[in-house]
Chains A and B, each alone.
Chain A
Amino acid sequence: MAWLLLPVVFKSFAKKGFYEFQAPVSLTSSYVRDLQDFWSARTKSKNELYEAGQSLARLNAGYQIAALENQTWQAEIARLENLLQLPSRPDYQYEIARVVERDFNAWWQRIIIRKGKDYGIPVGAPVVFVGGVVGRVSEVHAYTSVVDLISNNHLRLAVVIDGDNRPMSYRGGGSESFAQPVGLAEFIPTDIQIADTENRPVLITSGMGGVYPAGLKVGELRRLRQGAGGMFYDGEVELDARLASLTEVAVMIQIPPEPEQ
């Protein structure tokens, strides 16, 4: 009862204090895991390392070409924006961070990453990985940040189906044991069908709401059912299976636009 009467400021200060007290232990364990990976890589034979180096070189070559293409597209977009006098879209800086701890249970799904206030991570920043959206930064501490995954029930975002511009609503659907994380899509137009299970509709971010830029993959529509009002479908969204074993993510930090001269 006495706890309930304590002022919020005290509780907030105590929460920060207790979090920062245990944070170095979690951080150290993540560095130890990195060291384990390093030493396990050291046990690989020279042939294996040579083959890995070769495949990395091929990947690098592919990425260099893609980077050049991106530069060309960006120049073209900038030219058209100038021509049509469109407002420029927000620019992001990517902060790559290692995952310190994965906290997935039946109640919530979140990860702790190894960058916090020391790298200027803001609360609410979108977090992505190679498979698309990871989630959103919910807490920022001195050297770590907490990221809520998109499978969390309270995380909602506006999505569209790739190739279709009608907006829908997405929210996390919780975790499943021995299965991929899931989400729920609402307000799906009734002309959307899942005819081919191999080629299911892909949900991407719509860019509305201002948190996530447009075009980031969220998941694939797996099952449709009649929505509550009868005018739309609700759908089950299959999220990327790699979300459950993330080791590295990228935090997207918006770069403030330069003031016009």
Chain B
Amino acid sequence: MISLSKNRWILVATGHFVLLFFLGQANHYLSSVGVQLFLIGMLLSFSALELSYSQGVLSIAPICLIIDSKTPFPFGYNLIACLTLFTIAHILRSRVRREVTASALATSILLNIGAFAAYTFGAIRYLGIESLHFVPLSMNLLASTLVVTLFNRIFFDTQTGVLSIFGINLAEEQREAR
């Protein structure tokens, strides 16, 4: 029998995958107006702030590889970019008060901007700079930041709620650790 407490990354990765599914549906309908939402920062933020390093990596890696399999970048580009951002956020998490919603939101927004920049760099490197336009890039980033601002707390609460159903109380564990 798998211990879900020791393998909480499975639950978190499933939650991330569900979010990606809904994001894909939203982007499908938004394509007609030329706007795409990009929320990877929110996933990285939850894993970096709420899980241990190894559990966080395990929850992020399969999701990054799924995204990687659907992008025109070399396979693994997204994984390396996201794991780098995740590691930076994980190292710096002791400096922020994780129980404060605003710090989680700021982390999500910063990680999202970082991931967006990594994708833009990848597009310049592998697809060419000619078709990149400032207006759609900034529109997509603006729309994504707005959605992260609106849904970050809901996403964090939902993930924490699902973990608590399986007897994993993150807030209590963090208090005990302090």
* Interface band, chain A: 35 or more
Interface of A is mostly: mixed
Does A101 lie within 8 Å of B24, measured CB to CB? yes
Q: A102-B27, A174-B136 in contact; A152/B131 too (CB < 8 A)? A: yes
* Cβ–Cβ contact B132 & A104, under 8 A: no
User: A106, B132: Cβ atoms under 8 Å?
Assistant: yes
| A12 interface contact, C-beta 8 A | yes
A176-202, CB < 8 A from B: 176-179, 181, 184
Q: Which residues of A contact B31 (CB under 8 A)?
A: 102-104, 244-245
How many B residues touch the partner, as a band? 35 or more
Q: Do A11 and B34 form a contact, CB below 8 Å, given A18-B69, A107-B119, A172-B131?
A: no
The reply to whether A108 and B127 contact each other, CB–CB distance below 8 Å, is yes
Tell me, rounded to whole Å, the shortest Cβ–Cβ distance linking B53 to chain A: 16
- Whole-angstrom CA separation of A184 from B130 in the bound complex: 10
Please pick, from B25, B35, B68, the residue contacting A18 in the complex, using a CB distance under 8 A: B68
| In contact, A15 and B69 (Cβ under 8 angstroms) | yes
Nearest opposing residue in chain B for A110, CB measure: B72
Chain B residues with Cβ below 8 Å from A25 are 21
Known: A29-B21, A177-B35, A244-B34. A106 touches B133 (CB 8 A): yes
CB distance from B93 to the nearest CB of A (A): 23
Residue of B nearest to A111 (CB): B31
Known: A18-B68, A107-B127, A176-B135. A3 touches B80 (CB 8 A): yes
Chain A nearest Cβ from B91, distance in angstroms: 18
State whether the Cβ of B175 lies closer than 8 Å to any Cβ in chain A: no
Residue of B nearest to A242 (CB): B32
B137 near A106 with CB under 8 A, answer yes
**B87 near A: Cβ within 8 Å?**
no
Tell me, yes or no, whether A58 is within 8 Å of chain B by CB.
Answer: no
Give the interface centre of B31, B32, B80, B119 by most chain A CB atoms within 10 Å.
B31
Expressed in whole angstroms, the Cα–Cα distance for A110 and B119 within the complex equals 16
Interface flag for A235 (CB, 8 Å): no
CB-CB under 8 A from B132, the residues of chain A are 106-107, 174
A73 and B75 alpha carbons, distance in the complex (Å): 48
B131 to chain A, nearest CB (A): 3
Q: Give the contacting residue for B68; candidates A15, A107, A148, A173; CB below 8 A.
A: A15
A/B interface sample: 21 pairs, CB < 8 A:
A3-B79, A4-B76, A12-B75, A14-B65, A18-B69, A22-B69, A29-B24, A103-B70, A104-B36, A105-B140, A106-B36, A106-B139, A107-B123, A108-B72, A148-B72, A151-B131, A173-B130, A174-B130, A174-B136, A175-B136, A176-B133
Besides the known contacts A21-B66, A108-B72, A244-B32, 10 further A-B residue pairs in the complex with CB atoms under 8 A apart? A25-B21, A102-B28, A105-B140, A106-B139, A153-B131, A171-B130, A177-B34, A177-B136, A178-B35, A245-B31
Binding site for B on A (CB under 8 A): 3-4, 6, 11-12, 14-16, 18-19, 21-22, 25-26, 29, 101-108, 110, 138, 148, 151-154, 171-179, 181, 184, 244-245
